[in-house]
Structure 1
Amino acid sequence: MKRIICTLSVLASLYATAQDKPATPREPGHGDNNKFSQMYDLLATPNMFRTASGAPGPAYYQQQADYKIDVELDDKNTKLYGTETITYTNNSPDPLEYLWVQLDQNQHAADSPSKLVESQKMNEAYSPAGFSREYLQQQFDGGFKLEYVKDAAGKPMKYTVNQTMMRIDLPTPLKHGEKVSFSIKWWYNINNYQVIGGRSGYEHFDKDGNNLYVIAQFYPRMAVYNDVEGWQNMQFWGAGEFALPFGNFEVNITTPADHILDGTGELQNRAEVLTAAQAKRWDLATKTFDKPVVVVTQDEATASEKGFSTKKKTWKFKATNVRDFAFSSSRKFIYDAMAVQLGGKTVMAISLYPKEANPLWGDKSTRIVAHTLKTYSKYTFDYPYPKAISVSAEDQGMEYPMICWNYGRPDEKGVVSDRIKWGMAGVIIHEVGHNFFPMIVNSDERQWTWMDEGLNSFVEFLTEQEYDPAFPTRRGPAANIVPYMSGDQKFLEPIMSNSETIHQFGNNAYGKPATGLNILREVIMGHDLFDHAFKTYAQRWMFKHPTPEDFFRTMEDASAVDLDWFWRGWFYTTDYVDIGIMDVKQYYVTDDKPKDSKEANIRKGRFGQEQGPFVYMVTDGKDKAFDTKDIKLLKDFVNEKLSAEDKANLKQPKYFYELTFDKPGGMLMPIIVQLTYEDGTSETQTFPVQIWRKNNQTAMRVFATDKKVVKFQLDPKLQTADIDITNNMWPREAVKTKFDTGSKK
């Protein structure tokens, strides 16, 4: 066989020589590198747990973790003591030899390695307090102090603590459908989050000596076990938040008797913990839909601030089908509430805040909570929980089921700047919105921050604009992401990156996903198709654990819009949008055949035959306009072929422009072209992204107009996140290259 091949090669060479031509080497072959390629190489294979449509499959399962918790808040020593009983149900098909429990408070342990994983350099200057904290003081003694882990019979269980995770070894594997109960006793020192940092803890008020507590991650919590990766037991380093199973909670919280408290779930003993007057005001609030009712007044809160009661009281809560529990407590709290009608049921919007937050919080907070619940429900599903609480906690912004902490207060003179006013409103909308993503649509935050932060930031954008069209939204408008997209590639990662590896967390996990969804809605899919698909995703996966593939597939499945090119570019790469006008040629019409006319360029019939006589399109770079009525061949054709009615409906183009578009950026996007005419009028034409499908780098379009075009402009409303608008104009002119990205929170 080799001899034959060699012989054929020689013959080919001789033939080329005989033709007096060198043999032209062929280009090497290649795979499918078109940016419109389907994403079979990136998405997980559909199965019985998760279908190709993006919906839960017939074998989909999720675990359940039920809790009975008793805690006591030691306000004098800023400690929290607790015992809990967890009942864990194994709904998976797998026998489980051990359980993983999250110990997130251990991030604050004195020996926590989370303090050692960031690069560090010497500052040029420190405040005295900052220098003392960094180099002189002992490390804060945080983290869970575990006293025991016992089984249902009270016998000690074997367990191993690995940083923020605890493995509990089971004496026999837990089979499908079986339950196991065990108890844990623990305590920890509560962190001052303004000094130590953290997503929960307490804020201290020097003037009156009081603390305001926002308590979360306060109990050992079950990790998620699912069909995607088994146990989600990735360590908590601080950035990637939480993955949790759903369950039912019974929680009893003992506090000083002069504290006001609220938390996840429904309060079971209101008459025991509120005064008769306060309970009466609460009843009024449940029937008031137009404004907040003050349940605990500022005068009552101010009086409580001075008491420091040594007595105690216990607040009792029950919560059904939630993934977590959190609460907030202080003797400083003013408490107001109003009713919200959602889908035939009444939900309570609530705010807790100290007098330092007034009048801003009393005027705004609960109304913003109510607006958020209504707007998010419109785009997803009716809010299913009985209440949503906004807590004033300075320097915070964090979310839990039915409760969240939010920053934003007047200064000491009572002045509220625009930055604080809009910033507080945006944070409340964002954190209350997290009830939907991920508290109900329960994605894995430890792995994919964008699935809750990005989706939530997008609906936050819609909610802010409905709250006030002048809202200075940061995340969502396409132009606002341009500085990030055009930045140094060394500090950019694809959205589909783990939470702990991201350089610019806010831009990557919040801003870019929110912007991408806004572009899908405004430019690519349209409101109707997008809104239906987005709502379908939310309703398919409420109270379940979706993955990125489930989102991508549902958005396509419910809309009949192929978006693989978009997910591939926007989510899996750091490609950016940069579409430009590469060339513009103006043509005129003649029935005289140009001398240099190339017959190959003349349109042929279906079977290759010429269909003359021809109307020729030529360009000489001059500014010419022609009335098509004066062209003999066209005039004859019109008179012979068309009726009088058809002739009356004919367009009368006089100008013909051929535009060549190029794409220096790697990200595909529809081409939006605005034509501005000599008389000052304009029109916009949009070409679907598929215009790039056969050539990912260049595209051409012809514009036939009856008026002279004086300017072509791409993306005139800055809807596509194009990072370089200097190549968006013809004729070239000075254009702004800096984008107005709105106010900064």
Structure 2
Amino acid sequence: MNKGLFLIFTFIFGLTAAQQGPYYQQFAKYKMDIDVDAPNFTYKGNQTITYTNNSPDELKVVYFHLYWNAFKRGSMMDQRVQNQGKNGDGRLQREGVSRLASIPEGEEGAQNIRWIRQNGKDLKFEVQETIMKVVLHTPIKPNSSTTFSMEWDAVIPHQIRRAGRNNREGIDMTMTQWYPKIAEYDYDGWATFDYIGREFHAPFADFDVSIKIDKDYVIGAGGTLENPGEVKGYDAAANIKSDNKNKATWRWTAKNLLDFAWAADRDYTVEQFTVLDGPKVYYVYQKSEKTALWEESKPYVTKFFQLMNAAFGRYVYPSYSFIQGGDGGMEYGMCTMILGEGRSLEGLVGLMVHEGGHSYNQQILAYNESVRPWMDEGFTSYYDDYVMHQLFPPKEPVANPFVGSIKSYVNFTKTGKEEPAVWLADHHDNGSAYSIASYVKGDLFLVQLGYIMGEQNLSLVMKEFYNQWKLKHPTDRDFMHIAQRISGMDLKWFHHYWINTTKTIDYAIKNVEYGTTSTVITLENKGEVPMPIDFSIMTADKKVVNYHIPLNMTHTWKSNDIYGKFATLNYWPWTQKEYTLTVPYNKSQLSALGIDFSQRLADVNPEDNFVDVHHTDVK
């Protein structure tokens, strides 16, 4: 390289490194006053936001999310549903026809911004459906704050997806993503994805929210109720204070949340219990025969928080609310909205466990779900498998809690519809492909890492990741940094194959030759994703002997696992299609042999991974 090119390269490289700088995250403080017209399902809002720019960049514009603008005919969400047809989200359509197109007149969602000011001066703004672009009067310099004030009114939409009026179980108002919410800004710029129906992202914020509503309503929310003695439902001795319009004011506060969500209904019952070494839990629901399973779920929810605190990290907020509302289950700060009429105890608890698990991922670890849905949904699904296996042990023994997820993945790969997990949440072409990529492959990302590095190491990784990145905004790169440091392995290759491609794992036992004192086994990599291989034999007297065949790309080998200790063999280069090993046992001394007795390897054709020595011929 000549000297001039070297200097140019050095300057560019140095500039790039300098631009990265130390980690930072933005912060906001919301002060809201809300006046609800319950009979007409509308409300008026006024809010002040103190916004702190902790980035090294001067901000000349800011962006807000106006999610409810999506709930109308002809919106981008409606267009997306129509374009996808039966391949899309079944909750947004009936027989391939968009439900948004048939919202009754007057029930379309709307967030009408009357004005917005910065430090008292009017600002110009442009509403781009669910995104509002605001041109600032004064740029926000690095490490400084500014104050926005704004007034708006809103129409609570016909309940179709998550938010809205009169859900199918009769909840009057599910108020989620309901206010103009300032967008996240980080090293990748403004997180201004249009709302098409899937995921959310926001900066952490403090909330002080006053909600004025007819006094016969009860509100459930993610936060702390500051005046329980003045409103209905939380204090048996409450002296309900109302104004001359017969409305009561509820005041809620919360610190360090991504959002503030609430729901309101005249028939809500509020119950509460405290988890030892955990949060206070609120149940806000319509108590009836249809919701009788809520009472039975309480000890399971208690154990859920205790298991999570012990295995992954302590829940950091003072309370958590399970609120009947919405259209299925959806997580928010310190609460979740769920359908309450469970058909079985295990089904209801499973929904509560999943949404409660999101409080650790979507809320506390706060990934950008629009960009990396597989981290939020997948890691939460991993928690599901881990916790539900203990809360509801299977009637028949299984090799591990993740066998069901592996089967779901393997079956879907055979449809030819798989899409890479790296795709943006709203940009998957097929709803089932999105679910497999985000929920299942995200789950199996951790399962495969446990197989590669050993479950003990994975447990350390999960705890360290949570402790280091809670109440921040980590990425998969941050996770991989910790995984590689703790395991001592190079794991970039696995991340690339599993997240960025749809290539599959497929190993097989190609040939077995029995000798008088030993047996020679030839293995074959028939797939596209290389992996280290755990190979085991079962002797005639039912003893298991484990061998580990490292993959050369990891450069450090696994020595043990909770599934047993391993004799480590020579590594298998990823370019090599076959591998031969010799075990010191003849046919009469063997009962079975195979790849991955633990059944954690996501092999798409596991049928050729095992040999019953005395009943199987290997060709």
Q: 2:247 aligns with which of 294, 312, 319?
A: 312
Gaps in structure 2 of 5+ consecutive residues = 1-14, 88-92, 239-243, 553-570
TM-score (norm 2): 0.83
Q: 1:553 aligns with which of 461, 468, 481?
A: 481
Q: 2:421 aligns with which of 482, 486, 495?
A: 495
Distance in 1 between residues matched to 2:532 and 2:250, nearest whole Å: 56
Say if 1:110 and 1:142, in contact at 8 Å, map to a contact too. Answer: no
Distance in 2 between residues matched to 1:251 and 1:459, nearest whole Å: 32
Distance in 1 between residues matched to 2:19 and 2:190, nearest whole Å: 16
AA aligned opposite 1:360: L
After TM superposition, give the deviation of residue 247 of structure 1 in Å: 1.6
Distance in 1 between residues matched to 2:436 and 2:86, nearest whole Å: 27
Distance in 1 between residues matched to 2:98 and 2:263, nearest whole Å: 31
Q: Classify the secondary structure of the residue corresponding to 2:30.
A: strand
After TM superposition, give the deviation of residue 671 of structure 1 in Å: 2.4
Q: CA RMSD in A?
A: 3.1
Q: 1:543 to 1:120 in 2, by over 3 A?
A: closer
Task: Note if 1:362 corresponds to 2:295.
Answer: yes
Give the 5 Å matches for 1:289-368. 311-342=246-277, 347-356=279-288, 357-364=290-297, 366-368=298-300
Say if 2:217 and 2:232, in contact at 8 Å, map to a contact too. Answer: no
After TM superposition, give the deviation of residue 396 of structure 1 in Å: 1.7
Distance in 1 between residues matched to 2:128 and 2:36, nearest whole Å: 27
Q: 1:432 aligns with which of 343, 356, 361?
A: 356
Distance in 1 between residues matched to 2:595 and 2:445, nearest whole Å: 19
Residue 144 of structure 1 corresponds to 111
* Cα deviation digits, residues 454-495 of structure 1 (max 9, x gap): 111112221212322239999675532343453244x22222
AA aligned opposite 1:385: Y
Q: 1:261 aligns with which of 219, 235, 245?
A: 219
Q: 1:674 to 1:527 in 2, by over 3 A?
A: closer
AA aligned opposite 2:129: Q
Q: 1:333 to 1:538 in 2, by over 3 A?
A: same
Distance in 2 between residues matched to 1:734 and 1:138, nearest whole Å: 69
After TM superposition, give the deviation of residue 132 of structure 1 in Å: 10
Say if 1:269 and 1:315, in contact at 8 Å, map to a contact too. Answer: yes
Residue 378 of structure 2 corresponds to 454
Say if 2:67 and 2:195, in contact at 8 Å, map to a contact too. Answer: yes
After TM superposition, give the deviation of residue 537 of structure 1 in Å: 1.1
Residue 671 of structure 1 corresponds to 533
Q: 1:266 to 1:77 in 2, by over 3 A?
A: same
Q: 1:48 to 1:532 in 2, by over 3 A?
A: farther
Task: Note if 1:373 corresponds to 2:373.
Answer: no
Distance in 1 between residues matched to 2:528 and 2:233, nearest whole Å: 64
Distance in 1 between residues matched to 2:613 and 2:423, nearest whole Å: 39
Residue 156 of structure 2 corresponds to 190
Say if 2:234 and 2:270, in contact at 8 Å, map to a contact too. Answer: no
Task: Note if 1:404 corresponds to 2:404.
Answer: no
* Cα deviation digits, residues 13-32 of structure 1 (max 9, x gap): xxxxxxxxxxxxxxxxxxxx
* Cα deviation digits, residues 127-168 of structure 1 (max 9, x gap): 99x899857965852221222223332x43111111211111
Residue 322 of structure 2 corresponds to 390
Residue 593 of structure 2 corresponds to 712
Q: 2:184 aligns with which of 199, 202, 224?
A: 224
AA aligned opposite 1:445: E
Residue 249 of structure 1 corresponds to 207
Q: 1:575 to 1:161 in 2, by over 3 A?
A: same
After TM superposition, give the deviation of residue 559 of structure 1 in Å: 2.7
Q: 1:723 aligns with which of 604, 612, 618?
A: 604
Q: Classify the secondary structure of the residue corresponding to 2:24.
A: coil
After TM superposition, give the deviation of residue 255 of structure 1 in Å: 1.8
Distance in 2 between residues matched to 1:81 and 1:475, nearest whole Å: 48
After TM superposition, give the deviation of residue 514 of structure 1 in Å: 0.7
Residue 42 of structure 2 corresponds to 79
Residue 539 of structure 1 corresponds to 467
Distance in 2 between residues matched to 1:483 and 1:389, nearest whole Å: 36
Distance in 1 between residues matched to 2:233 and 2:544, nearest whole Å: 67
Say if 1:391 and 1:404, in contact at 8 Å, map to a contact too. Answer: yes
Q: Classify the secondary structure of the residue corresponding to 2:296.
A: helix
Distance in 2 between residues matched to 1:230 and 1:185, nearest whole Å: 26
Say if 2:281 and 2:320, in contact at 8 Å, map to a contact too. Answer: yes
Distance in 1 between residues matched to 2:98 and 2:189, nearest whole Å: 44
Q: Classify the secondary structure of the residue corresponding to 2:39.
A: coil
Q: 1:279 to 1:548 in 2, by over 3 A?
A: farther
Q: 1:273 to 1:526 in 2, by over 3 A?
A: same
Q: 1:135 to 1:110 in 2, by over 3 A?
A: closer
After TM superposition, give the deviation of residue 340 of structure 1 in Å: 1.8
* Cα deviation digits, residues 572-629 of structure 1 (max 9, x gap): 2212121101122233xxxxxxxxxxxxxxxxxxxxxxxxxxxxxxxxxxxxx3xxxx
Larger radius of gyration: 1
Residue 611 of structure 1 corresponds to none
Distance in 2 between residues matched to 1:394 and 1:217, nearest whole Å: 12
Give the 5 Å matches for 1:548-697. 548-587=476-515, 625=516, 655-678=517-540, 682-690=544-552, 691-693=571-573, 695-697=575-577
Q: 2:75 aligns with which of 112, 121, 124?
A: 112
Distance in 2 between residues matched to 1:471 and 1:505, nearest whole Å: 31
After TM superposition, give the deviation of residue 170 of structure 1 in Å: 1.0
Residue 273 of structure 1 corresponds to 231
Q: Classify the secondary structure of the residue corresponding to 1:170.
A: strand
Say if 2:531 and 2:551, in contact at 8 Å, map to a contact too. Answer: yes
Residue 464 of structure 1 corresponds to 388
Q: 1:64 aligns with which of 17, 27, 48?
A: 27
AA aligned opposite 2:459: D
Say if 2:409 and 2:441, in contact at 8 Å, map to a contact too. Answer: no
Distance in 2 between residues matched to 1:184 and 1:276, nearest whole Å: 31
Residue 519 of structure 1 corresponds to 448
Distance in 2 between residues matched to 1:211 and 1:436, nearest whole Å: 27
* Cα deviation digits, residues 250-308 of structure 1 (max 9, x gap): 1001122112212122111111114796259xxxxxxxxxxxxxxxxxxxxxxxxxxxx
TM-score (norm 1): 0.70
Say if 1:532 and 1:559, in contact at 8 Å, map to a contact too. Answer: no
Say if 1:161 and 1:167, in contact at 8 Å, map to a contact too. Answer: yes
Residue 3 of structure 1 corresponds to none
Q: 1:160 to 1:696 in 2, by over 3 A?
A: farther
Richer in strand (by share): 2
After TM superposition, give the deviation of residue 430 of structure 1 in Å: 1.1
Q: 1:732 to 1:141 in 2, by over 3 A?
A: same
Q: 1:697 to 1:108 in 2, by over 3 A?
A: same
Say if 2:118 and 2:137, in contact at 8 Å, map to a contact too. Answer: no
**How many positions carry a matched residue from both structures?**
564
After TM superposition, give the deviation of residue 428 of structure 1 in Å: 0.6
Q: 1:98 aligns with which of 61, 68, 72?
A: 61
Gaps in structure 1 of 5+ consecutive residues = 1-44, 51-56, 281-308, 411-415, 588-624, 626-654, 736-745
Distance in 2 between residues matched to 1:432 and 1:680, nearest whole Å: 42
* Cα deviation digits, residues 7-58 of structure 1 (max 9, x gap): xxxxxxxxxxxxxxxxxxxxxxxxxxxxxxxxxxxxxx995787xxxxxx7x
Q: Classify the secondary structure of the residue corresponding to 1:481.
A: helix
AA aligned opposite 1:405: M
Q: 1:333 to 1:541 in 2, by over 3 A?
A: same
Distance in 1 between residues matched to 2:376 and 2:23, nearest whole Å: 21
Residue 237 of structure 1 corresponds to 196
* Cα deviation digits, residues 431-456 of structure 1 (max 9, x gap): 11211112111111111111211111
Say if 1:269 and 1:316, in contact at 8 Å, map to a contact too. Answer: yes
Task: Note if 1:529 corresponds to 2:448.
Answer: no
Distance in 1 between residues matched to 2:542 and 2:487, nearest whole Å: 38
Task: Note if 1:699 corresponds to 2:561.
Answer: no
Say if 2:330 and 2:337, in contact at 8 Å, map to a contact too. Answer: yes
Q: Classify the secondary structure of the residue corresponding to 1:65.
A: strand
